[in-house]
Structure 1
Amino acid sequence: MLVLFETPAGYAVFKLLDDNKLQETDNLYRAFETPESAGRIIKLKHFEKFTDTTEALAATTAIVEGKISKSLKALLKKHVGKDLQEQLLVADAKLGSAIKEKFSIQCLSNTAVQELMRCIRSQLDSLLSGLPKKEITAMALGLAHSLSRYKLKFSPDKVDTMIVQAVSLLDDLDKELNNYIMRCREWYGWHFPELGKIVTDNVAFARLVKIIGTRENAADSDLSDILPEEIEEKVKEAAEISMGTEISEDDIINIQNLCDQIIEITNYRAQLYDYLKARMMAMAPNLTVLVGDLVGARLISHAGSLINLAKHPASTIQILGAEKALFRALKTKKRYA
């Protein structure tokens, strides 16, 4: 039997000298306790070293995806293809299937092979005598960094992270805006309580407070850019007969500063919503048309990613975001909507 073993420095092909040892899975580690005993079980047939980190990254990403890299193809043709009667032991079952399909080489991957790979790894320094441990460690570190950068840059699972973050931020902004607006209405209501009943739009209310200041200035203020003419007249009439208390200049300055925050957050929320709509149409156009951009984004957020959402059955999608209501209904044995 031949063993294909992947290292950060390259591919190693070992010859298993005693095939019966593979049957002794529970005691296999004892045969690898020392370099001498390991050498009696397994012997290096060939080691194909990577030329640089780029080749190592390409080979590793291919293995992760269960594919055969160019360097591995060349190795198998040259050193394994000649011994077609030999069985090839591989760590990854997907890679074994790809090798069998491409080269008609019988591949084996099971728990016994995994244990053998672990034992080889424990005595790798002695089995690969030409490579110092320091060099292998440095290559492993460089490859780990390169592979991490590759995954972060190209992983399709991470593309929809922007949508998840955007919709979460949108929800946070809505909560913050509600708190600020409620505080502003309550605060200014001590001075001009009638304004809150006349103007129901929150942003218009904040802009009015910003322009008017104290209610005495309402009669001389031009509110036509914010309100229709009829409502503007009602505001000015209410200001003249208001039952509110008097407030100081410092009070109105702080209230107007809060109004600035409300207007600024509202404008940013509008920009963020436009961004979210554009991202949803680019990434999940069918979902966006079907359920809308916000609902679609929240479904992706609850599922974790667009791929996870696509894999969910209809029964799971039906309760996404309503888990608390579902379990409460099951607990109380009541219907839920």
Structure 2
Amino acid sequence: MDEQAALPAPAMDENKEAIPSMAPPGKEDGMALRSDAVAPPGKKDEMALRSDADAEMWKVNPVAMLGNGGVILVLFETPSGFALFSYDGLKLFQPDAIHNIWGEFVKDFMRPVWLKDFKPFKDKASALNLDTGVNKDLASMIGNVISPDQKLAVGKREYKIIIEHYLGISCLYSDEVMELMWGLQNLMPHYLPKEVSKMTKDDCLPMCKGIMFLLNSYGFDVKPEMVNENIIEMACLVLECDFNVKKHAKELHYAGELLKAISEIDFEDWDLLKLATALMIVGYPKGEQIVAGNLQKLFGDDYSTLVKDAPKYKDKLREVACFRVYEEMLWARKLRFKGLKRLATLARMAREDYETEQAMRNPGEIPEV
């Protein structure tokens, strides 16, 4: 078992993808993601529903359902044409993908996708058309890159219908896919810098749901049009801090079962940091490692029980692993606290700028906030 996981716990999921961001050296992260059903081609008014068996297979073995080792192709529309990217489609299927996908598309060094091809089209409307199908050049572009049985993610439902009907390529279209499209647009200055200057307001996708969910969950009443680059970057920091705590949930809860079995302590209502702290108390009863906070106030009567029962946990926990998990979680919580303070300032400044802009556009009117 990985030394960083609290024991006795199952092994950490080695398939989780690392986010090369602000995590401290030696700490690996993983971002959880999924995809929804899409309507079959050419069938009007039919709900995009899979059979129960099919839906279960997507949950159990998305690699097999996606094909090509889970790597999908993404058709991304730009102001002047279309680009093709390859992407780890499994991220679309992970839990809470709708809330997390955007976090990989904040800075260009993250590089969550690979640009495979780009082609400008004089008449994009004719490239993908419900009546005429797929333009020859676009069909050739897709055909030259896509692998057999590989899925193609698209940014419009009509594109899915057209491509599946005329090219016979299975497409993905869902809220999760749209979060991916927002991310590609956010990193367009890195992948397709010449396209940025051609963008108009109509080309811009709506603010992604993941960012708005995070802001709302922390009580920031921010309109999508108020969100700027600084807010996105700070929200990404908060997201990653949260992840550095949540990624240890399975191992901590598994180890926490010892608290029930040995000390008859119910930890179900505790947050993860409190649980990690309890494991530190029984792992280091003589204070070999410093544990932050007022422990008697935090645990109440359970504190004396933990101290008294500490010898009973010997050889049942890996103390070093417990310490490393606790240290990382404590670091993440402290950094998140600073990030949220900065985010509050940025949100306030963005609101003030928005209200000023609204007042200048509509003199004499009270801006709606």
Q: TM-score, normalised by structure 1?
A: 0.34
Which one has a larger percent helix, Structure 1 or Structure 2?
A: 1
Choose 1 or 2 for highest CA Rg.
1
Q: TM-score, normalised by structure 2?
A: 0.32
